[in-house]
Structure 1
């Protein structure tokens, strides 16, 4: 039994497919399949049910999975202990970010880290906040920039790096274009344009509407805030946007302050609070917090 076989096994189980697992471990799909077959022959049992469209764990596979994860965690712990003692900063760090992160100069931040630690490979992915938190907790990401709702997700530490007022943005010929402010209850039954569920902005909107006793009527969803602004500018509804984005498009949009309560969109640096953290990940957290002016709390 080899460590790489356990690594491939865990990847296939978590990704529910050989192709996605192969992309995750950076190995050709036939290579992953061959190693899993070797592991199954050694154990004398099939670990996956391959009969359906998706790959599923067999009963034996489900029983083996926690032990495989524990073995890989133990090896990671050994490497981490050695690297901590020798002061090495190498390896790989994985960063996640939401699409609505215009307030963050991420390329400059990552370039600065690369200059300080050229032996560390950096990867970057974009997803909604809920998926990023899930990846943090699973150890697939080392840090992530997420949009926060009213509560902090369990299992992660966060540091707010941007806090901005959210507004209702409409075209200049919209019926609401003469308004300067609108209460949350005034959004009832209006066709709203918003980021999708799982984003911090959408969480704030949904929470406020639920507290006011109604469900928002979402006419359009898009993961790019720029698209939301364009839809509102064409008169297709009321977009809930960060104030800076609405005012930057003042020629096409009128921004209306949302009140009772005010809504704020918060962008936060986040990292998990449990499990081993590599020296490279620790260095990235320190660098990021220093660049963002948030140093001061323990990693």
Structure 2
């Protein structure tokens, strides 16, 4: 058994097909299949059950893959120590949706850096919830901040329930809270059509028989706010991130009935680096305060 074989089984478990795993490892698929078979023969156990074009991790395989991930993480930490003379620059990568990035950068990251000043936090901006999930699966981020639900192959740590509110230019004759029916015909800036966030909003509109006038479709936070500042449209956004809108002179109103989403830190089912564990502890402590 060697580290290369451990990397092969972990990649196969993450991608669920030999073809995709081989592509991610930059090797030929037959070579990967042969290496997996050799390891299974050496261990005397079946790690993957073949299922159509994909593979399913067996009960024995789950235990082996968990230990393989821990071993590979430990090797990575040792290599980092060696390459930095025992004092590595620690980096923590956190994926976030555009609508949650401001809260991450303005509240969670400063609180974390106050306790762990030696860690450099990189925010990986993603195109909605699906982008966060992909960034974690592809190991481009250690953690993700998104609203739920996410696929069951990720572990979730719920932090808070955030209310979705209506942010409008001043001068609109609207009550507070705004009945859902009043969104019918309202000029709105919305996420890009086809995105996970847009699908959820469209489902909400359908539930209440509401058809807004779509003025702008974008996943850029600044684009949304600029449309509201200029008086072109209103915006549905999280209340926890509405301080920026209030400072800009915009009006924030609740919806009736209220709509709330669970915000969570998510990550892959593997041993987290110490920096990510510490961030989780800081985030959960802040949500409990």
Structure 1 and Structure 2 fold alike (TM over 0.5) = yes
Q: Residues 132 and 20 of structure 1: is their aligned pair in 2 closer, same or farther, counting only changes over 3 Å?
A: farther
CA offset at residue 19 of structure 1? 11
Give me the whole-angstrom Cα distance separating, in 2, the residues matched to 1:132 and 1:78.
25
The residue aligned with 1:192 is 188
Contact 2:190–2:214 under 8 Å retained in 1 = yes
The residue aligned with 2:110 is 108
The residue aligned with 1:98 is 97
CA offset at residue 229 of structure 1? 1.7
Give me the whole-angstrom Cα distance separating, in 2, the residues matched to 1:152 and 1:34.
30
Does residue 261 of structure 1 match 2:253? Answer: no
Contact 2:146–2:264 under 8 Å retained in 1 = yes
CA offset at residue 230 of structure 1? 1.0
Q: Work out which of the residue numbers 224, 230, 237 in structure 1 matches 2:233.
A: 237
Does residue 294 of structure 1 match 2:288? Answer: yes
- Normalised by the length of structure 2, the TM-score is 0.60
Q: Work out which of the residue numbers 3, 7, 15 in structure 1 matches 2:6.
A: 3
Give me the whole-angstrom Cα distance separating, in 1, the residues matched to 2:137 and 2:10.
17
CA offset at residue 198 of structure 1? 2.3
3-state SS in 2 of match to 1:103? helix
Matches within 5 A, 1:61-72: 62-63=54-55, 66=57, 70=62, 71-72=64-65
Contact 1:184–1:258 under 8 Å retained in 2 = no
CA offset at residue 152 of structure 1? 8.6
Give me the whole-angstrom Cα distance separating, in 2, the residues matched to 1:207 and 1:97.
23
**What RMSD over aligned residues (CA atoms) do the two structures have, in Å?**
4.7
How many residues are aligned here? Answer: 246
Identify the structure with the greater helix proportion.
2
3-state SS in 1 of match to 2:265? strand
Unaligned runs of 5+ in 2: 38-49, 76-87
- Normalised by the length of structure 1, the TM-score is 0.59
Give me the whole-angstrom Cα distance separating, in 1, the residues matched to 2:35 and 2:18.
23
